[in-house]
Structure 1
Amino acid sequence: MRDLSSQLLTGRLAEVALDYARGLRTPADPRPASTVILLRDGSAGPEVYLLRRQQTMAFAAGMTVFPGGRVDATDATVADSWSGPAPEWFGERLGCSAETAAAYVAAAVRETFEESGVLLAGPSADSVVDDTTGADWEADRVALESRELGFSEFLHRRGLVLRADLLGPWAHWITPEFEPKRYDTAFFVAALPAGQVTRDVTSESDQVTWIRPADAVAAVDAGQVLMLPPTYVCCDELAAYDEVAAILDAAGERTIRTILPTVRIDGDRAYLETT
Structure 2
Amino acid sequence: MSEVPEGVDLSGFVRKPPRPTATMTLTRDGPNGPEVLLGLRSETMAAFPGYWAFTGGGVSRVDAAAVDSFSVLDVEHGKFIACILRETCEELGVAPNGDHVISIDESARFDVIKDKANWLPHAEDCNIPVNIDNI
1:66 — aligned with what?
Answer: 54
From 71, 92, 96, the equivalent of 1:120 is 96
Can you give the 5+ residue segments of structure 1 that lack an aligned partner in the other structure?
1-5, 7-16, 89-100, 122-126, 168-275
From 82, 89, 94, the equivalent of 1:106 is 82
Q: Residues 119 and 132 of structure 1 are in contact (CA less than 8 Å); yes or no, is this contact kept in structure 2?
A: yes
Report SS of the residue matched to 2:49: coil
1:132 matched to 2:103? The reply is yes
Q: Residues 99 and 133 of structure 2 are in contact (CA less than 8 Å); yes or no, is this contact kept in structure 1?
A: no
1:41 Cα deviation (Å)?
1.3
How far apart, in 2, do the equivalents of 1:131 and 1:74 lie?
A: 22
Q: Residues 38 and 49 of structure 1 are in contact (CA less than 8 Å); yes or no, is this contact kept in structure 2?
A: yes
1:160 Cα deviation (Å)?
6.2
How far apart, in 2, do the equivalents of 1:130 and 1:38 lie?
A: 9
Q: Residues 82 and 162 of structure 1 are in contact (CA less than 8 Å); yes or no, is this contact kept in structure 2?
A: no
1:83 — aligned with what?
Answer: 72
Report SS of the residue matched to 1:78: helix
1:36 — aligned with what?
Answer: 24
From 146, 151, 162, the equivalent of 2:114 is 146
1:120 Cα deviation (Å)?
2.3
Report SS of the residue matched to 1:163: coil
1:23 matched to 2:7? The reply is no
| Superposed structure 1 runs of 4+ greater than 4 Å apart | 127-131
RMSD (Å) for aligned C-alpha atoms: 3.0
Superimposed CA distance per residue, residues 61-99 of structure 1 (whole angstroms, 9 cap, x where no aligned partner): 333211112222111122332437x522xxxxxxxxxxx
Superimposed CA distance per residue, residues 21-72 of structure 1 (whole angstroms, 9 cap, x where no aligned partner): 7425322332222111111111111111112323331122333211112222
Q: How many residues align?
A: 130
From 33, 37, 40, the equivalent of 1:49 is 37
Report SS of the residue matched to 2:36: strand
Under a length normalisation based on structure 1, what TM-score does the superposition of the two structures give? 0.41
1:156 — aligned with what?
Answer: 124
How far apart, in 2, do the equivalents of 1:82 and 1:128 lie?
A: 20
Q: 2:106 corresponds to which letter in structure 1?
A: E
Superimposed CA distance per residue, residues 172-225 of structure 1 (whole angstroms, 9 cap, x where no aligned partner): xxxxxxxxxxxxxxxxxxxxxxxxxxxxxxxxxxxxxxxxxxxxxxxxxxxxxx
Question: Are residues 128 and 160 of structure 1, via their aligned partners in 2, closer, same or farther at CA, if it must alter by over 3 Å?
Answer: farther
How far apart, in 2, do the equivalents of 1:112 and 1:141 lie?
A: 10
1:110 Cα deviation (Å)?
0.9
Superimposed CA distance per residue, residues 125-151 of structure 1 (whole angstroms, 9 cap, x where no aligned partner): xx6887536xxx111111112216433
How far apart, in 2, do the equivalents of 1:28 and 1:61 lie?
A: 23
Q: Residues 28 and 34 of structure 2 are in contact (CA less than 8 Å); yes or no, is this contact kept in structure 1?
A: yes
Can you give the 5+ residue segments of structure 2 that lack an aligned partner in the other structure?
none
The residue correspondences of 1:210-249 to structure 2 (distance < 5 A) are none
Q: Residues 51 and 66 of structure 1 are in contact (CA less than 8 Å); yes or no, is this contact kept in structure 2?
A: yes
Q: Residues 68 and 108 of structure 1 are in contact (CA less than 8 Å); yes or no, is this contact kept in structure 2?
A: yes
Question: Are residues 109 and 18 of structure 1, via their aligned partners in 2, closer, same or farther at CA, if it must alter by over 3 Å?
Answer: farther
